[in-house]
Amino acid sequence: MKAWIAFWNILKKDIKNYYLKPPNISWGIIFPLSWTLMQVIRSPDGNILNLLPGLISMSVLFGTTSMLAVTITFERSGRSFERLLLAPISLGTMVLAKIAGTILFGIFNAFVPVIFASFFINLSAINWTIVFFAVLMISITSALMGLLIAVSAEQVFEAQTLSNFFRFPMLFLCGLFVPITSLPVFLRPLSYILPLTYGTDILNGAFVGTNTLPPLLCFGILLIFAVSLFLICRHCINKKWIL
Amino acid sequence: MAMVSVKNLKKTYGKFTAVDDISFEIQKGEIFGFLGPNGAGKTSTINMMIGLSRPTAGEITVDGIDVRKQTKKAQSIMGIVPDESNLYNEMDGFNNLCFCAALYGMRKKEREAKALELLELFKLKDAGKRPFKAYSKGMRRKLTIAAALIHSPQVLFLDEPTTGIDVESSRQIREMIVDLKKQGTTVFLTTHYIEEAERICDRIAFIANGHIVALGTVPKLMGSISHGHGIHFLTDKNAESFATELETCFKGTKVTIQPDHSLVIVAEQRIPLFPVIAFFQDRGIDVFEAREIRPSLEDVFVKLTGIESSVLKKDAEKVGPK
């Protein structure tokens, strides 16, 4: 019960202090919206449904990785993060509480292009349960990657630079813009060590039926990624922040 | 059983040894002062004691709980005030306190009542709805201490609690520390200020270069350095004219003239006062003041550590005025 009180209050504090701030809400809406508009204007005859998996994945990836990396680095530089390290809650609870807000923010980002698209196309045939869980898994893995970046960065600008260093190559390698089969052979193994590849594949299957792997396998791999990243993050925090 | 026990504690960073094999115990309800200049090992020690840093060697227990093995259990009975006020700038005073209480698993009603009580106690009730970033340094310090007390800890760790804040806030904080002791809270306090340690601590440890060079009550520390007995006299005549005669009359004494022309008589044994007064009277010299000279804690610190007390004062000034 005590751990739950601490978890809920860390989550509530983060949502209030960071995610519900006007600049972040506007980022959460404007970023996915502008990507969607850009794609629609670029190829007016293109099928919006084909674009949605990519737009959702990008919105989640950009929303989650930078938010968590920046907020944690910010709290660390002001030393308020020490309060969490000194509280009688396990590192696991603390990590879960910190990523929970980011995951919710990622889910919010993901559905902005969906809502926008719903004005132009009929989305009633989509299996929303699969889409929701795919978005959830992409959010979890991306948030944990953001946490891993936060552990490595000392300053906010470092966190932002590191986030971009990971995000942009990931976008090009995960099959969003170029199908993995069209990538040079030596780059393909890299694609398969990225969680976003599997999330995008599930979304491709759910929206246009062009998945290359069975959804269950993708969910399993994403789960392995999430658990591994969680354990790595916990270990890194324990090693790096408790000297 | 001691409330806090530190045994053979050591911390190294590469080849640098920050804390070198220190041991001490703190009894329940005691205010224990840890005095030393910057870089002496104070913060390294406190960080190991609160579980924010891992000792290279040694043992720490708080109320019998091994801090290394059961860190979270030990932290649940600790209140921690770091050397920097580290609450959340965007949140107001009241919500900062409520959030800190929630980290200790306190329920909403309980944490709100305790937050209000502490805001009242620290005279911050009017500022309770102001964001923390709008607080003055003194107010920030007081709210940080209030946050450490929100869960009624058994042991309070204060790292430089009065450094860089105004005189009035410093006084209030010192009074509060003494009140906490009266209520049975054990206090571990690190400070640059010798007078502060002398005024409120039951026992003091001097730390220099990672070693504890002296530990004891203020009177014990005072008695630990050998010194002669001295009396300071302020007279109506320039003391230089009779200093040599005074030394001749009172064998075994040494007379030194002070810059204000007063004099100090020092001897190995205690000096009887009336014969000296009679000496002055016989020569028609009026004595306005006679007082025994005792070594200050500052003298003891300088003698035992070899560090001038001005170094401590400069360290404190680097952070801000007291």
Q: What is the pLDDT of residues B98-111, one digit of tens each?
A: 999 999 999 999 99
Which has the higher per-residue pLDDT, A89 or A78?
A: A89
| Most A CBs within 10 Å, among B71, B77, B84, B86, to test the A interface | B86
Both tokens of A70, joined, read 């920046």
- A72 and B CB contact within 8 Å: no
Is the CB of A86 less than 8 angstroms away from the CB of B50?
yes
Q: Which residues of B touch A84 (CB under 8 A)?
A: 103
ipTM surpasses cut 0.85: no
Per-residue pLDDT tens over the stretch A37-72: 777 777 666 677 888 888 898 889 888 887 888 888
DSSP state of B26: E
Determine, for residues A9 and B103 on separate chains, whether the beta-carbon distance falls below 8 Å.
yes
The angle, 0 to 180 degrees and rounded to 10, between the axes of the packed helices A91-118 and A128-152 is 130
Class of the domain covering B229-293: alpha beta
pLDDT at A117 over 90: no
CB pairs under 8 A between A and B: 68
Q: What's residue B317's pLDDT?
A: 59
How far apart are the CA of A40 and the nearest CA of chain B, in angstroms?
39
* CB within 8 Å: B75 and A10: no
Tens of pLDDT along B40-99?
Answer: 899 899 999 999 999 999 999 999 999 999 999 999 999 999 988 889 998 999 999 999
Residue B172 burial (10 A CB sphere; 0-12, 13-18, 19+): buried
Q: Quickly name the fold that domain B4-77+153-223 has.
A: Rossmann fold (3.40.50)
Listed by start position, the domains of chain B span 4-77+153-223, 229-293
Strand order in the sheet with B287-293: B253-257, B263-267, B229-235, B287-293
Quick one: pLDDT at residue B179? 93
DSSP state of B131: B
Domain count within chain A: 1
Q: Are A80 and B91 inside 8 Å of each other by CB?
A: no
Residue numbers of the domain that contains A215:
2-240
- Give yes or no for residue B321 having a pLDDT over 50: no
Structure-token pair, residue A193? 């060590």
* Residue in B99, B108, B114, B133 to test binding to A, most A beta-carbons within 10 Å: B99
Q: How far is B36 from chain A (nearest CA, A)?
A: 22
For B135-177, the pLDDT digits (tens) are 998 899 999 999 999 999 999 999 988 887 888 888 989 999 9
Q: What is the dihedral of CA A142, A144, A149, A154, to 10 degrees?
A: 130
Q: Do A84 and B103 touch (CB under 8 A)?
A: yes
Instruction: Kindly tell me if the per-residue pLDDT of B319 is higher than 60.
Output: no
Question: Residues of A with CB below 8 A from B91's CB?
Answer: 13, 17
CA pair distance B238, B233, nearest whole angstrom = 11
Interchain pair A83, B86: CB under 8 A: yes
